[in-house]
Structure formats: structure tokens, C-alpha cells
A and B are shown apart, each in its own frame.
Chain A
């Protein structure tokens, strides 16, 4: 068994005062309970309205998202739902009482429970057994606000059910303006392979609180990808469980926060089945005054989860003064019979020595920054493995950089 708590600062000589390479949960705070004891319930009344001091809300600007703690119906007139799916995929609606409805997800906080109460029906994407999709399923949620009014309320509920030995890619995109509370249930059948991408490209006034729960079947594979670029406040909680041994889960995240944006990603991988693998990698860049990102990576290896292998990594690149990145990896291990468990977290500033080096080769300061940021994201973007998403994301990162440095010269 190996347990590593790696602190991974940038290369020697590049670390500078004020850089925080590692926040260790054991020293930063003492959790009041094991992750296993965290409450889940379908009843919104079981969750008090968060005040901002709770463990799972302490980084979130709860004063800016109060509406989403209340149960309100979806403003259907301001919601557009576009779905395109290749042949072999069934798109339907599911209601309470249906087999898949609530089969994977139980709300773990007030916003998720409010979304649950507000959404009477769910969109159900069914990929039958032993089907390999050639094209992704694409689902786009677009909210449209009325000038001068609060963005419309959307309660989202999506269920993706991948049958055994099937292979599918599902891309969920959020655009426009909305106050969106949403639940996503992902069931990956035995031996199946699901790539699920959730893209947050909201307008600047949008608020989005999401809970994504995945149940990875025996010998199944899940790649869960979160891309957060837009919105005022975006908080995506992703919880992964395993239905049997041999499951493999990869959680990849890419985010880019601008001035005034709050982007929060909370991961919880619950290893209960033996011989499962989890691999979490999130990378983000921040620029602008009060840009704030939060990454929480909880991993629980229960006593029964022998043979587990898990690794979590979070890297943040702060491009300007005034931005803040919080990064908290947590590892709870209840058995010593594991293959490996580790995590690493580092937050660094844009490196002046890199800038000098590139500039000394004739490259302008803006172009140098662009190279460094593109380089920072290149590896993780390539891991996404969905060509259209990768190209779109690199273009979006370029567009983000253009905000602070003007359009690309080359």
C-alpha cells in the first residue's frame, strides 16, 4: 500500500512568496464527520437553508444564490431544451415512481433537494444494452431572461442510463441566462463505458447549482468531464459510487474564472466496492478582481473497498492579482489493503521567469501568456477525448485570454 500526500510546487526557483502550494485538510480544519455520514434526502425540509458557515457551504457566496434554496417551478416559457441523439438512443420522460427516477441520486444539499422538488419530470436518455454510439448525444439547456428581471428559474433533472456493454458519449451544455438548480443521474451498466461532459457556458448573470451522481457498474468505465467557463456563481457537486468491483472512474475538470465569477467544484468518490479505480484531475485558471474558484476533492475508501487505487490532482494558475483559488483534497481511508491513494494540489501565480524567457525570444508578453495558459491546459484538454469538445474548449480558452490581452496576433 502506498499513501502519498504530495506537495507539488512548480519547478525549483519559480516558487514565490504568497504562493500556496498545498492546503492539507488535516491541518486546515478538522471535519466534523466522515463523508459517509453526510445527510442525503429527497425532502427539502430535511436541509436547513445554508447560512454560509456549514462545512459544505463555507466557500460558497450563499447570499447571492438564495433563490435556489427555495422550491419554485421551472419557468418553462424561458427554457429551451435541444436534444440530438444518434440512432439507437431512446429519449423519453421519467416521473416519480418510474424505475430510473431517483435510482442513482439522492440530494445531498438544500439546492439539490429544491431542484428535485421543482422538477416533476426528468429527461431520460436510455442507451440499450450492447450498443456503441458513433456520435455523442447532445443536450443543450438554454435559459433566456427578460431585461430588467431576475433570470428565469430552471429545475433540471437528467437521467442517463447506459445498458451493459454499451459505449456512449453524452454532452450536456448550459447556455444563456438562468437560475438553475439541477440533478444529473448517471447509471453505467456492467462493462459499459460512458463519457459524460457537462459544460457551463452561461451568461454573466447566471447561477447554477448542480449535483451529478454516478453509479459505476461492475467492470464499467466512467469519464466525467466538467467544463466551467460562464455564469456568476456555478457550483457542481459530482459524486461517484460503484455498483460492483472492477469499476473505473475518471473525473476531469477544466475551469476559467474571470472577474466576479465564483466557480466551485466538489468531488466525492465513495469507494465501497473492492478493486475499483478513481482518478480525479481538475485544472483552472483565474483572472480579474475577485475571481474565485473552489475545488474540494473528497475520497472515502471504506473498509470493504480492498484493492482500491485512487489519485486526485488539482492545479490552479492565477493570472492576475485579486483572484483567489481554494483547493482542499480530503482522503479518508478505512482499510490498509489498497493499491494506492494519493492527492496533490498546487496553486501558482503566472511565472515571471517564464514570461521573461519567452519574451527574450521575441514573443510579446500577451502571446507569451497565451502560450503558457494554453500549455497549462493542453494535457488535460487532450484527456477529454471528445474531439468537438476539445476544439471548442481551446477556442473558448483563447477567447477568455483575449478578454485580458486582446486578440491573438498569430
Chain B
């Protein structure tokens, strides 16, 4: 069973005003079969955590460790991390002109599995996954994220997660900008992946809305670059009613 362990993670970013520390000692363990929600106000560093785990070059890790089943994630390149089983569903997926969704997904699957998928079952699986996400089959022949609506981009991220079978999936504000229908479709996709029992899910969100559709096992409150409170699903309910003021005031 896969385990992601983050210990005392410190991360900085270069800004116009010099180096700024964003993550200030994050400790978190996510195991396969668990769904964790990280909640926090804007600017608290939630997305930085997601992108640091994925290896975005903008962020510099200055301390701490991240391991996946004991392997040093921080020593890996971005693509090695993905091949090790990490997946990041992005808040703002980028366009890749001239590269179709089907070509992109097949290339990614081949890279992750180390061999090309069997064509017949691959096409069948992809059609089924797209149908579940209420995506038109013609979608496969469109260029990656080019001209996609916000909802289409997020469905496409979930489609990738379902087809690539990661050990640990991080979803960075996948709920933002979605209407209720799209939110339900996307949540069902996450629940299908979580229900398999062999994937750990780390759900990063600003709002509690998505937690009506995805039941987290653990809720972590993220303030100013670290986790300040942890609990079960009931913590999300409390945040829904009280907001983050209580924590922000403590920090002040």
C-alpha cells in the first residue's frame, strides 16, 4: 500500500522582492485508500504544497523530506515523480496546441507503464471513462486544453487521473470555477478512483462545497504555510460555519 510522507517541508519562491518562504514546516502522511482534504484561505500555501510535491521548478525546497513508499521524491525529476505514482490535477491546465487529447494520453500512459497500452482495451477504457465524465467522444481529437471551457479542463484532468492510475493523486482546487453539475461529475470521478482503495487522494480546496460530494477521511487546516489543525469530516462542517477567521486571528 502506497504511502506519501511529508516531513517538516520548507519551500521558498523567488519574488520581485526577494526570496519568500511559503511553506514553513509541513508534516503530512497520506496512505492509499485515504482521502485527505487540505483547506485554507487564499495565499496560505496550499497550491505551493501541491506543486512542490509535483516538482514545479518555480519552487525551491529548502528543508524537509517527501517520500513515496520510502523513495526520495525530492531527488526525482518531474516525470520520474509521475512514473513513481504521483499525479497532480492542476487548477490551470495549460494548452498544448497541435497535440490531441488521445495522443497526449497515450503518450503519458506509455511513459508511465514503460510500454504502449494494448490498443483495443485502451480505446475501450478511454471511451468508458469519457462517458462516465459526460465527455463527447469527439473530445479525444481536440487539442489538449485548447479552447476548453473551465469545466472541460477539469474533466480532462480527472480523465487523466482515471486513465493513468496513480498511487497518489493531488487535486489542486479542482472544484474552483465549476458549476454544480460539473462539480458532481468531477466528484464522481474522484470517488471512483478513491473507491478502488489503492489510491491516496489529497484534495486541496478553498471551499467546503466539494466536500458535500467527496467525503474526506481527514481534514487539515492550512494557514500561513503549515497545518494548524487536523480532524475528521466534522472539521469541515465547522469551517463551513465559522470560516478561517479563528485561525487567522490566532496567527495575528
Contact = CB atoms under 8 A, between A and B. Distances in A.
Interface of A: 11, 13-14, 351-354, 356-365, 367-368, 371-372, 374-379, 410
B11 to A, nearest CB: 16
B99 interface: yes
Interface in B79-115: 79, 81-83, 87-88, 90, 92-99, 103-104, 107-108, 110-112
23 contacts: A13-B92, A351-B94, A354-B96, A356-B54, A356-B57, A357-B93, A359-B55, A359-B79, A360-B54, A360-B87, A361-B82, A361-B164, A362-B79, A362-B83, A362-B108, A362-B164, A363-B111, A364-B79, A367-B111, A371-B103, A372-B96, A374-B99, A375-B98
B109 to A, nearest CB: 8
B208 to A, nearest CB: 27
Given A13-B92, A375-B143, A361 B108 contact: yes
A363 B160 CA distance: 13
Contacts of B192: none
A268 B111 CA distance: 46
Contacts of B103: 371
Contacts of A368: 79
A357 B96 contact: yes
Contacts of B238: none
Nearest to A382: B98
A188 to B, nearest CB: 30
Interface string B143-185: 1000000000000000010001000000000000000000000
Contacts of B98: 374-379
Given A362-B164, A364-B111, A410-B110, A371 B79 contact: no
B107 A410 contact: yes
B88 A363 contact: no
A11 B95 contact: yes
Can you list the 7 inter-chain pairs with the closest CB atoms, starting with the nearest?
Answer: A375-B98, A362-B82, A361-B108, A359-B78, A378-B98, A362-B112, A375-B99
B77 interface: yes
Contacts of A364: 79, 111
Interface string B65-79: 000000000000111
A376 B97 contact: yes
A356 B82 CA distance: 11
A335 B55 CA distance: 56
A229 B90 CA distance: 37
Interface residues of B, number: 32
The prevalent SS among residues of A at the interface is helix
B107 A367 contact: yes
Contacts of A359: 55, 77-79, 82
Nearest to A375: B98
A358 B104 CA distance: 8
B20 interface: no
Contacts of A352: 57
A377 B97 CA distance: 9
A279 to B, nearest CB: 19
Contact of B96 (A13, A375, A377): A375
B56 interface: yes
Contacts of B79: 359-365, 368
A361 B99 contact: no
A256 to B, nearest CB: 15
Nearest to A363: B111
A303 to B, nearest CB: 39
A360 B51 CA distance: 10
Contacts of B81: 360
Contact of A353 (B87, B94, B99, B111): B94
Contacts of A363: 79, 82, 107-108, 111
A410 to B, nearest CB: 6
Q: Which of B79, B88, B143 has the most CB of A within 10 A?
A: B79
Nearest to B116: A410
B90 A362 contact: no
Interface in B194-250: none
A244 B171 CA distance: 61
